Structure 1
């Protein structure tokens, strides 16, 4: 036998978002990302175009300014464009320029950006075009302060546009998610409405020819195949129940008639009693398996001590020469709300497993107020047994060449799930295994 904890292991909670929420969040993030990208691109393109336009304008106008200066004989000819300030410095006044505008004096030809703060604390910003000849230096300044203010206003407008369009994207996402998820939600509602129905109606006619309609068709096909499987299973269970119980009833009747004869010797009586116990075990097992196949709880009030005594008597007759003592201890008034057959199968497998793996010593069944313990003096448990004991088809480390398909304890686990019982095993204090069957309070 293998150890397992009756209490289920706790799983860490997994955060799951609804599909509707994921769609809304996708629209929200897409809207936010696109709006930010568009705002950044728009602002960058605007600044770049304005910069190129001003630079090109100043390049053309400073050349025109120089030509008009020379063609007018060195007279002040005015400025060709507003927001511009032009100045011509002759060779003999280079030193004066160095004292008046030292930052201009050191600049080479080209377009330069100049900014700073005036004496009164107001900021200034302008572009300066410079053309230098051996005898004259030409300067053309373009005030970009207004352009900077317009750019700041534009950026502040973008700070408002981005949240507005993000909210609009969120609303569009919510509306779209509602439209997209509406048929899926309707499909889920119709599926829940068919829960427990033995003849569910088709789902596909209620949906259009789209992805949800294809899903409804697939569910209809699966439902039909599942219904056919369940129907075949029910018919098989009913046939097996009828066909097996009939010969078992014949065996029971024949055994009772033979036991009623007074001229039987002791060996024959023991064999007939063994046949009678085997017939009762088969009857109990068939009844329990039918309950499991239908997932139905059988009703009844069963005295646990009575079933324990029956199982101990049945196993005493099969001990042979094994030096094992079988005994029952504890309270004898415990009853459970379950058929005697179900309890007999559960306790019979636990006691039978303990007897099979105990070569000498004892198997003790202790009755408590709401549980039964089966304590043996067998070889104990391995780690692999502890993890896989109640799996269907698993045979313990100490099974060796013994008979059995490894399904007895899996049947016990299924019965416990059906009746809300708890089953588990743990190592004994010194040796062996302690198997515990705990009943629910409702039992």
Structure 2
């Protein structure tokens, strides 16, 4: 499992590790140096004491000559001065000897084949070592705490311009054409170079969005005239009394397609503007009004296909929504249900602040469910009709209006689309 830390955390960890290495090296060096120097001093002092004892003329009484914390032995010595068996193997020089529960420093000399050993209790030395270890450990811990604190302070200062730049880039007005450049607010350093790169990228993104809006607006505007001509021609044909039943049905189908195309063009035009403040200029309708119009429009095609149209009007709130966009969302979901349902039913149910469209169609495979709202993704590629743009348009409209659309499969088959029209904050 890979752990991902933020840049600030990495700075703090780097400071802590660097402090641990440096402070650890210094601590080990101090302990080793003090231990070595103290052993050298003790060895020199103990050696001097042993040589002083060997140079004394009167060797008949040794009891008063060693220091209080020292014990003197020599081979062949009288009584307590006799060299013990556990010290006879020691070579000349300085040693550390453990006897019973105590430890001693020992200095050994051999003169004329005779072994002389002087022991000195090292309890004071060990106590000083323990104090030294405690001081070094406390210093090591304090250095780590100080390093973490300094790393935190430095990380805040280093990351402050980066955090500020991230907030500026995320601002919703950054894609507007009049948005000021970011680079002048920063020094000519790495963060400044990052701001320059963001300016270049955002500039290209603004140009692409502007081209998209212009293209959508131009196409929507140019399509209105031929659609009006088609609609007028259909009206004239329907007034012709000599038109037979089959021809009249075809003309009505063309007229219905023209009406849907006009609504689709208007929807694209509104999405191209993408300005919520223009919503008051658009036609407003309640959820019930939009649903009644679409049920009357789609009931005949649905029942002609042999399906059952179920409409549950419920008791939705009398909130007025953008009629064009709400009509596009609900109409695309009904069209999608009709396209993928061969038998059974299509159900439209209104709720308090939303609606549900259910069908008994082929359903959507689990592996495609998350991608169904992407452009050019279709539930069943074997069907020749449709480009897979209907659900993408639904998702885009919902994001633009702050609505929420969700997809779930029905049992044993079919789909359930739920749209929540509550404005997201």
TM bracket, shorter-chain basis: 0.7 to 0.9
Cα distance in 1 for partners of 2:72, 2:371 equals 97
Partner in structure 2 of residue 11 of structure 1:
none
Q: Is it true that 1:253 corresponds to 2:235 in the alignment?
A: no
Are the equivalent residues in 2 in contact too, given 1:336–1:439 (CA < 8 A)? no
Q: Is it true that 1:210 corresponds to 2:198 in the alignment?
A: no
Q: Is it true that 1:402 corresponds to 2:384 in the alignment?
A: yes
- Cα shift readout 1:354-403 (whole Å, capped 9, x = no counterpart): 22233344434344444444444434554445554434322224x52331
* Equivalent residue in structure 2 for 1:45, among 33, 52, 77: 33
Cα distance in 2 for partners of 1:366, 1:88 equals 107
Q: 1:290 to 1:41 in 2, by over 3 A?
A: farther
**Stretches of structure 2 lacking an aligned partner (at least 5 in a row):** none
Structure-2-length-normalised TM-score = 0.77
Cα distance in 1 for partners of 2:355, 2:24 equals 69
Q: 1:214 to 1:366 in 2, by over 3 A?
A: closer
Q: How does 1:123-272 map to 2 (within 5 A)?
A: 126-132=104-110, 136-142=114-120, 144-188=122-166, 190-191=168-169, 195-196=173-174, 197-261=176-240, 264-272=243-251
* Equivalent residue in structure 2 for 1:352, among 324, 327, 335: 335
Cα distance in 2 for partners of 1:333, 1:167 equals 61
Structure-1-length-normalised TM-score = 0.74
Q: 1:327 to 1:165 in 2, by over 3 A?
A: closer
* Equivalent residue in structure 2 for 1:109, among 69, 77, 91: 91
CA shift, 1:229, in A, is 1.3
Are the equivalent residues in 1 in contact too, given 2:288–2:313 (CA < 8 A)? no
**Stretches of structure 1 lacking an aligned partner (at least 5 in a row):** 1-13, 118-122
CA shift, 1:171, in A, is 4.6
- Higher RCO, Cα 8 Å, sep 6+: 1
Cα distance in 1 for partners of 2:80, 2:348 equals 118
Q: 1:173 to 1:364 in 2, by over 3 A?
A: closer
Are the equivalent residues in 2 in contact too, given 1:20–1:177 (CA < 8 A)? yes
- Cα shift readout 1:209-230 (whole Å, capped 9, x = no counterpart): 3211211111111121112112
Cα distance in 1 for partners of 2:369, 2:172 equals 40
Cα distance in 1 for partners of 2:106, 2:41 equals 14
Are the equivalent residues in 2 in contact too, given 1:62–1:140 (CA < 8 A)? yes
Cα distance in 2 for partners of 1:194, 1:334 equals 31
CA shift, 1:127, in A, is 2.0
Are the equivalent residues in 1 in contact too, given 2:377–2:389 (CA < 8 A)? yes
Partner in structure 2 of residue 97 of structure 1:
81
Q: 1:216 to 1:96 in 2, by over 3 A?
A: closer
Aligned to 2:361, what secondary structure does the other structure show?
coil
| Matched positions, count | 415
Are the equivalent residues in 2 in contact too, given 1:129–1:141 (CA < 8 A)? yes
